[in-house]
Structure formats: C-alpha cells, structure tokens
C-alpha cells in the first residue's frame, strides 16, 4: 500500500481528473460511499459537519446517502454555496432541494449545534481536509472543540480536521476521531506518533483511481501489507540441505547480557537458517557453549575466521558499550572486506550501534551490505538529533541517514521504518504487548536469518519486521504481554501460515 503526502495526493487527483478524465464528481461520490460503508448503519441519528472545500463536499454527499437510507440527518456547514467548488456546490444544492435539515454554523447557531452533537449517534467530520496549512483559530477552533467535547462517536473524512496530513501535527486544534476513513493511500502524517491519539481506527479506502495513476506520482513510500509479506517468504526446495539456507554468525553476549546472545541465536535458527554460530566475549564463552543446542560456538580468538565463512554477521546484542566492542566491529568489517565483499551482509544492532556514536563515517565506503536496527535512543546517538525530533519525522530521519551512509536502516518502534534511502516501507504490525527486553535481539536474528536464506537485505528487513510484529499481534490476542522466547517458538508456524496463504 502506498504512503502519500499532501502534494502527492494532489498530483494523483490531478492526473486522474485532467489526464485520465475521471470526473471529480465521480471521485467525490466514491469517497462518500466509502465513508458510508464504514458507518454503523444500525444507528439512527447522524450529524454531518461540512467545511468549504472538497472535504465538505464529501460530507454533503455522505448526508445525501444517509438521508436516502431513511436516517435522521442534520447538516451543519461553514459557508454558503457560492463559495464552493462545482462538485461541492452540486451536492450542497441537492441537499437543499431534498429538504435535508441544514444549518449554517455561526455564533448564533452554536447552541443548537452543541445540542445536536450531544444527541447524535454518529458525527461525521468533513470540516477540513488534507490541505490545512495554517493554524486553526477562532471560530473553526471552537467548532472542533465542540465536536470533541460533545460527540459520542466521530468519523473523520480523509483526515481529522485540524491535522497536518504530512506531519501528523495539530494545527492548533484537532478532531479526535474514532475512525478516520482516508482515500487511496495511507497519509504520511498518520504514521508519526503525534497523530495517533486523534486518528482512531484507520480505514484506507479506494475511490476509483487506478493503480497506474498512483504510480505516476509516488515517492517510493509504502505500508507493508500482508500480501507483500507472504510473497517474500523463502521457498525451500525439496532437495535443499543446510548449506542452502545460509551461514549466520552471531557476535553477541558479555557478562550480564548472555540472554541477548541466546535470543538472537535462537531466533536465527527458528527463522530457518541452515547453520548458526555464536561468538561471544571471552568471559561468557564457556557458559554460553553449554546452553547451545542447535547452534555452533566460536571462540572470540577465531572471530576473523568465522566471519570469512559466514554469509551474514549479526553484530552487537549484549556485547556492551566498550572499546573492545568497537575493536571487534572493526575486525569484523576488515574480514568481510577481505572475504566476499558484496555477497555478505553485516547487521549491526544494540551495542554495535552504541559504539558507532561519532564514528558512523566507517559505514560509507564498505563493499558489503549493511543493516542497522536502532531504536529511537540509538538513532539519536547515531544521527545527533533528539528523540523528540526523530519521533516527529521518523521516515525522513531514517531515509536521510540510510542515503548518506549507504546502508539499510530499520528504525524500530510503533510503525517501524525500513529504508535503503531510496525506498521506504513502514511496518504496521506489532504492539506494546511486545515491549519487553529481548525483542530487538530476536528481530536482529530473524532479519539476519532471512538475509542468509537469499532475500535481498531490504526484503529481509521488510519481512523480518512484519513477521516479528505479526507473531506478536497473534500472541497478544490471548495474553497481556508477549516474551521474546514466545516469539521465537512461534516463528516456524507463522512462516508456514504466511507461505500457505500465498498459494
């Protein structure tokens, strides 16, 4: 599913209307029908709040459909018809001719508006669309406040009124929707954390604009969907043997952090790697060797030799933020440069990222693939931005860093961002039930395993993040919290289900 900002949506609309010849009135009608599909039509009384633009026109059309279904409908609107564009004016006049109750919003009508909101089963917010560029002030601000204070249930049309659809920021006052029905593409701003409290459930509805039209305007930003994830599951040949499914070296674990090493290693095994080897710090090597079953062990003195044999190196979980960790990373990089180059992948996680603070220049001239998997705190240390700045612009932060450092960035968190600097995928799976130690270690092992099984690094990161969250969502349906070990146990079965749903 494509992600679109305001300008991209304007261009999509322009191409559809001007180049393809789809009448704007058809798009408005389709938008209205899509919104009605998302309403609870067992309810009897609807209040529709309409603004001056095309968003208001959608609202007028929604009101007409509800009226034709014998629902009780009251329309409150901002402007008289002379200020409207053609399609909006047409739908306004139809309602007038039908005799649908319509009240212009003003100071004098605010009391009746407030009482209608209190009585309504559902309020439809079609006040302001995606084009909001200035702060919401004065009367419009009051209207939005009244909606928020007095409504039982709100459906917002395309975007909650008062939200910047590019950034998700409040433009002074935002409608708090219970459901947002947005058209054609996921809006970019919806993916930023500031937007989430106002959106409610998000429904992305097509309104009759063909995919090739979207493709003409797209900027290479997508929401990972189930069908894409299913298509990326590696197919295992009947005659395959362990050497066909990748050699993964996990460099992880130090005093007090052996769990990270074991979780990462077990995740790589469960995701399907043919051979997984764990190399840890000297002080925990013997204790970890005794706990390994399906994985092999490698003494840290043999690290360079292990790297030369591996297809993928996962570096960092539980190694500690020490100078020796950076020295080990330099040794891994040197060995990968000398042994295989472009055919190898280095995934850096956790303390591997921490030791890169102020040293990221070493990433820019490598001959092999590099994947970084930071959470927001680690990303802050890597790029120098505050956590707050990153959360306000997750896509742009990850994309610019990946482009500058010629790597793939997996910026973890709700709506994890995966990008190589050119293309962006935002992952919709996962929840706070997974907010426990070890989750990032499991994800690192999963992505590393998928790289070793032949997926391109970007594909592996996209599938790994989706699968990780997908399993978490399934498990969260039956328990309060989800442990990393439970994710690991569920990986093979979940991969099989995804593979089967592709057939």
Q: DSSP of 224-240, one letter per residue?
A: --HHHHHHHSPPPPTT-
* Annotated binding residue 166: no
Structure tokens at 447: 């992505």
- Integer Cα distance of 271 and 298 in angstroms: 21
Nearest to 371 by CA among 436, 302, 309, 455: 455
CB 166 within 8 A of CB 134: no
* Annotated binding residue 312: no
* Annotated binding residue 135: yes
Structure tokens at 256: 């007090």
Does residue 53 sit in helix, strand or coil?
Answer: coil
* Annotated binding residue 437: no
* Annotated binding residue 375: yes
* Annotated binding residue 58: yes
* Annotated binding residue 318: yes
* Annotated binding residue 259: no
* Annotated binding residue 56: yes
CB 318 within 8 A of CB 441: yes
* Annotated binding residue 57: yes
* Annotated binding residue 54: yes
Contacts of 241 (CB under 8 A, 6+ apart): 274
* Annotated binding residue 82: no
Nearest to 270 by CA among 493, 3, 432: 493
* Annotated binding residue 477: no
* Annotated binding residue 189: no
- Integer Cα distance of 486 and 230 in angstroms: 21
- Integer Cα distance of 263 and 269 in angstroms: 10
Long-range contacts formed by 498-503: CB under 8 A, 24+ apart: 498/226, 498/229, 498/230, 498/233, 498/467, 498/470, 499/230, 499/233, 499/235, 501/226, 501/230, 502/227, 502/230, 502/231, 502/233
Rg of the Cα atoms in the chain: 26
* Annotated binding residue 129: yes
* Annotated binding residue 158: yes
- Integer Cα distance of 311 and 330 in angstroms: 17
* Annotated binding residue 352: no
* Annotated binding residue 412: yes
Structure tokens at 503: 């057939």
Q: How far lies 495's CA from each of 85, 458, 467, 473, in Å?
A: 51, 18, 8, 14
* Annotated binding residue 414: yes
* Chain centroid offset of residue 244 CA: 32
Q: How far lies 239's CA from each of 310, 434, 496, in Å?
A: 22, 37, 18
* Annotated binding residue 125: yes
* Annotated binding residue 30: no
Annotated binding residues: 54-58, 125, 129-135, 158, 161, 260, 318, 375, 412-416, 440-441
Annotated binding residues for AMP: 412-416, 440
Annotated binding residues for K(+): 55, 125, 161
Annotated binding residues for (6S)-NADPHX: 54-58, 129-135, 158, 260, 318, 375, 441
């Amino acid at each position: 599913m494509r992600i679109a900002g305001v300008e991209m949506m304007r261009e999509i609309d322009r191409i559809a209307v001007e180049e393809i010849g789809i009448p704007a009135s058809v798009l408005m009608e389709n938008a209205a029908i899509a919104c009605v599909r998302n309403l609870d039509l067992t309810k009897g009384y609807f209040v529709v709040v309409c603004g001056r633009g095309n968003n208001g026109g959608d609202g007028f059309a929604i009101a007409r459909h509800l009226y034709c279904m014998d629902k009780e409908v009251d329309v409150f609107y901002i402007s008289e018809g002379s200020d409207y564009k053609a399609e909006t004016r047409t739908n306004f006049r139809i309602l007038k001719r039908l005799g649908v109750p319509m009240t212009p919003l003003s100071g004098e009508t605010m009391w009746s508006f407030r009482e209608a909101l209190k009585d309504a089963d559902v309020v439809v917010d079609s006040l302001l669309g995606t084009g909001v560029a200035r702060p919401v002030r004065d009367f419009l601000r009051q209207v939005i406040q009244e909606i928020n204070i007095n409504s039982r249930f709100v459906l917002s049309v395309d975007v909650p009124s008062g939200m910047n659809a590019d950034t998700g920021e409040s433009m002074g006052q935002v409608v708090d929707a219970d459901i947002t029905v947005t058209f054609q593409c996921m809006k970019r701003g919806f993916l930023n954390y500031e937007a989430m409290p106002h959106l409610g459930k998000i429904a992305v509805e097509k309104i009759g604009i063909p995919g090739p039209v979207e493709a003409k305007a797209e900027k290479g930003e997508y929401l990972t969907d189930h069908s894409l994830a299913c298509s990326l599951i590696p197919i295992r040949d009947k005659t395959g043997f362990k050497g066909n499914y990748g050699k993964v070296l996990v460099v992880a674990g130090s005093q007090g952090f052996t769990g990270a090493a074991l979780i990462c290693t077990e995740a790589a095994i469960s995701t399907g790697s043919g051979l997984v080897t764990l190399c840890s710090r000297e002080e925990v090597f013997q204790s970890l060797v005794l706990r390994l079953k399906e994985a092999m062990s490698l003494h840290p003195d043999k690290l360079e030799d292990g790297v030369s044999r591996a297809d993928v190196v996962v570096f960092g979980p539980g190694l500690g933020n020490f100078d020796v960790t950076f020295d080990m990373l330099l040794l891994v990089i040197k060995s990968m440069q000398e042994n295989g180059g472009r055919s190898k992948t280095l995934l850096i996680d956790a303390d591997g990222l921490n030791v890169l603070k102020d040293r990221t220049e070493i990433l820019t001239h490598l001959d092999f693939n590099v994947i970084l998997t930071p959470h927001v705190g680690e990303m802050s240390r890597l790029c120098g931005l505050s956590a707050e700045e990153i959360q306000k612009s997750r896509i742009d932060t990850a994309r610019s860093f990946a482009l500058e450092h010629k790597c793939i960035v997996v910026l973890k968190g709700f709506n994890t961002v995966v990008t190589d600097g050119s293309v962006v995928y935002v992952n919709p799976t996962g929840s706070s039930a997974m907010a426990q130690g070890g989750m990032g270690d499991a994800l690192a092992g999963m992505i590393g395993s998928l790289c070793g099984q032949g997926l391109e690094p970007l594909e592996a990161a996209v599938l790994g993040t989706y699968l990780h969250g997908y399993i978490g969502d399934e498990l969260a349906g039956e328990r309060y919290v989800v442990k990393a070990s439970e994710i690991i146990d569920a990986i093979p079965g979940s991969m099989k289900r995804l593979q089967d749903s592709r057939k």
